[in-house]
């Protein structure tokens, strides 16, 4: 149990650090009024979601502020990007429960209203499908990221299991531990592979 606990603490610490760094970069770009880059980094912070990690929620707040400001300025496109980023980020963090449902619901309302407004503005254009930002107005953000969400979960669980497996099985004798080279290589390879899957999933969802 102690090995599992240490592994979970390591994963949480990595998520906390990644989220914190992304949030700080987002703040820098936001203060410089580089809103698209700010959204990119706040999005990354959301994808490092972990229980009791404050930075994804702080990033969601910043994205909400960007979206509302864009609405006031009449920039529907930027507002939709900001609100959809929040929604997609929390849907991507779904495992046995969906975090921040209140945020998702708030964004659903804004996305629905802004999509209708955008469709009205485009009624006379050559875009009869009402596509916004390359995505159909009626298509759910979670549908787009389902595949990578699964990859993320597989990578996360596989990384933990492989790391524990390395600790338990890569040694010939637990009383006098001696590293078994072939087993160590195999378990280390699996650990690295699943870690890469987890990171790629974080980036893609």
| One domain for residues 109 and 24 | yes
| One domain for residues 189 and 89 | no
* pLDDT at residue 2, rounded to an integer: 59
| One domain for residues 131 and 153 | no
DSSP assignment of 99-168: S-HHHHHHHHHHHHHHHHHHHHHTTTTT-TT--BTTB-TTS-HHHHHHHHHHHHHHHHHHHHHHHHHHHH
* Residues above pLDDT 90, as percent of the chain: 38
Please tell me the least confidently modeled range out of 3-7, 46-50, 81-85, 149-153: 3-7
| One domain for residues 92 and 193 | no
Q: Which domain holds residue 196?
A: 141-205
pTM tops 0.75, yes or no: no
Query: At which of 101, 124, 139 does a domain end?
Result: 139
Q: Are 46 and 90 in contact (CB under 8 A)?
A: yes
| One domain for residues 121 and 147 | no
| One domain for residues 41 and 105 | yes
Query: At which of 139, 159, 188 does a domain end?
Result: 139
Q: Is the pLDDT of residue 11 over 90?
A: no
* Residues above pLDDT 70, as percent of the chain: 75
Query: At which of 113, 139, 165 does a domain end?
Result: 139
CB count within 10 Å of CB 107 equals: 26
| One domain for residues 184 and 197 | yes
Tokens standing for 41?
A: 């980094």
| One domain for residues 31 and 70 | yes
* pLDDT at residue 73, rounded to an integer: 94
Q: Are 18 and 48 in contact (CB under 8 A)?
A: yes
Binning pLDDT at 50, 70 and 90, where does residue 103 land? Answer: very high
- The chain-wide mean pLDDT, for the chain, equals 79
Q: How many domains does the chain have?
A: 2
| One domain for residues 120 and 156 | no
| One domain for residues 172 and 202 | yes
Question: Tens digit of pLDDT for each residue in 123-169?
Answer: 756 555 544 444 443 444 444 456 766 777 787 777 777 777 777 77
Length of the chain: 205
| One domain for residues 162 and 180 | yes
Q: Whole-angstrom Cα distance, residue 46 to residue 60? A: 7
Three-state SS at 179 = strand
Q: Is the pLDDT of residue 70 over 60?
A: yes
Mean pLDDT of 99-113: 91
| One domain for residues 89 and 188 | no
């Amino acid at each position: 149990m102690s090995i599992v606990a240490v592994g979970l603490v390591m994963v949480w610490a990595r998520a906390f650090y990644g989220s914190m760094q992304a949030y700080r970069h987002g703040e820098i770009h936001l203060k410089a009024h580089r809103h698209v880059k700010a959204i990119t980094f706040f999005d990354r912070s959301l994808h490092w979601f972990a229980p009791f990690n404050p930075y994804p929620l702080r990033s969601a707040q910043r994205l909400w502020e960007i979206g509302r400001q864009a609405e006031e300025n009449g920039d529907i496109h930027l507002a939709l990007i900001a609100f959809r980023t929040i929604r997609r980020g929390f849907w991507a963090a779904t495992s046995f429960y969906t975090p921040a449902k209140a945020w998702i619901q708030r964004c659903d309302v804004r996305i629905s209203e802004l999509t209708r407004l955008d469709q009205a503005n485009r009624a006379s254009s050559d875009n009869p499908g009402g596509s916004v930002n390359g995505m159909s107005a009626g298509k759910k953000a979670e549908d787009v990221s389902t595949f990578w969400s699964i990859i993320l979960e597989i990578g996360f669980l596989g990384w933990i299991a492989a790391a524990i497996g390395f600790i338990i099985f890569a040694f010939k004798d637990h009383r006098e531990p001696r590293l078994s080279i072939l087993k160590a290589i195999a378990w280390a390879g699996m650990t690295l592979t699943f870690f890469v899957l987890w990171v790629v999933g974080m980036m893609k969802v």
